[in-house]
Amino acid sequence: MAELELTDERREQLAALLDSEQRLRAEFPKVLEYLDMAPRLPGTGDSRADRAFDLRFVHYMTGGRSVSENPYWDIVAPSVSKYKGRRLVDGGNAQGSARLAFSQMILQSVYAYAIPAPETIKWISDFCESRPIVELGAGRGYWANQLSRLGLTIDAYEVEPPDTTENISFPRAAGQVDVWHSVRSLGEFHLDDRAGHVLFLCWPPGWGNTMASSALSAFEQAGGDRLVYVGEPKGGKTGDEAFFDALSEDWTLESVDSSFVSWWNLADVAQGWCRR
């Protein structure tokens, strides 16, 4: 695992920040929360890897876009292992760790539930074949930002845009970006002219919430015929039964991203579907 290379200036900046709990509490409360709790939790068994993760966490969470346009990926990438054909953020331990799980909770709240590895962003671009994208349930627009940076046109919508409303899944906090891409209210969304678009659903809510099946049904009625789904299989934490039933009945699985990266304790995948 390559060590994170920091300039002397950046090391001095981080040292000064970490030396002041008051500054951390005011400027980066989520970083302070992690640094306060992480040492109390069991790690992966590789103390050097755990320390390296901590450094990346602090560096990218406090550095802003001046140090990375995809900080989520840069934090977790060196902790990816291959296990049973899947690429997983497990820190080199197939069982992960409580410490890693705590960082997961924070990173998902700050950025996105699913991890946008560069290979997956490229896979989505290839599957879309230059078509514009409409994303429903976009959260902070983190995935939309990554896709936009690759040159794709994407409109993102969320029931509770984090920059204008209170969103319990993506709460506001000092030192973090509210939205990474323009995210409009779902109430402004209309499917009338979206037939040529690709529908993108990234971790649509599960547990009986019908958002995924409702979005898919409306998309079908508008003439839409291509879907990118990032989430868990039927019976998992994302999507509702009607959504998966509709896919089985009316859609064909055309592509699966073999390079998709998941947290070790999740079963999410990236799939490309075409309507029959």
Entry pTM = 0.96
Task: State CA 14 to chain mean position distance.
Answer: 26
217 has pLDDT over 80 = yes
Instruction: State how far the Cα of 200 lies from the Cα of 204, in Å rounded to an integer.
Output: 10
pLDDT number for residue 199: 97
What are the start and end residues of each CATH 3.40.50.150 domain in the chain?
Answer: 118-275
Cβ contacts of residue 183 below 8 Å, gap of 6+? 138, 139, 140, 141, 144, 156, 157, 158, 161, 162, 163
What is the pLDDT confidence band of residue 190, given thresholds at 50, 70 and 90?
confident
The per-residue pLDDT for range 169-179, each reduced to its tens digit, is: 999 999 999 99
Q: What is the mean pLDDT of residues 115-130?
A: 97
pLDDT number for residue 161: 96
Q: Which two tokens stand for residue 195?
A: 């037939």
pLDDT number for residue 191: 75
What is the pLDDT confidence band of residue 2, given thresholds at 50, 70 and 90?
low
The per-residue pLDDT for range 131-162, each reduced to its tens digit, is: 999 999 999 999 999 999 999 999 999 999 99
What is the pLDDT confidence band of residue 74, given thresholds at 50, 70 and 90?
very high
Among the four given CATH numbers 3.40.50.150, 3.10.150.10, 3.40.50.1000, 3.40.630.190, the one describing domain 118-275: 3.40.50.150
1 has pLDDT over 60 = no
**Coil, strand, or helix at residue 155?**
strand
pLDDT number for residue 195: 79
Q: Which two tokens stand for residue 24?
A: 């951390």
**Coil, strand, or helix at residue 48?**
helix
67 has pLDDT over 90 = yes
Question: What value does the mean pLDDT of the chain take?
Answer: 96
36 has pLDDT over 80 = yes
Paired with 230 in beta bridges are 202, 270
Q: Taking a C-beta distance cutoff of 8 angstroms, is the pair 38, 102 a contact?
A: yes
What is the pLDDT confidence band of residue 3, given thresholds at 50, 70 and 90?
confident
Q: What is the mean pLDDT of residues 60-66?
A: 94
The per-residue pLDDT for range 223-266, each reduced to its tens digit, is: 999 999 999 999 999 999 999 999 999 999 999 999 999 999 99
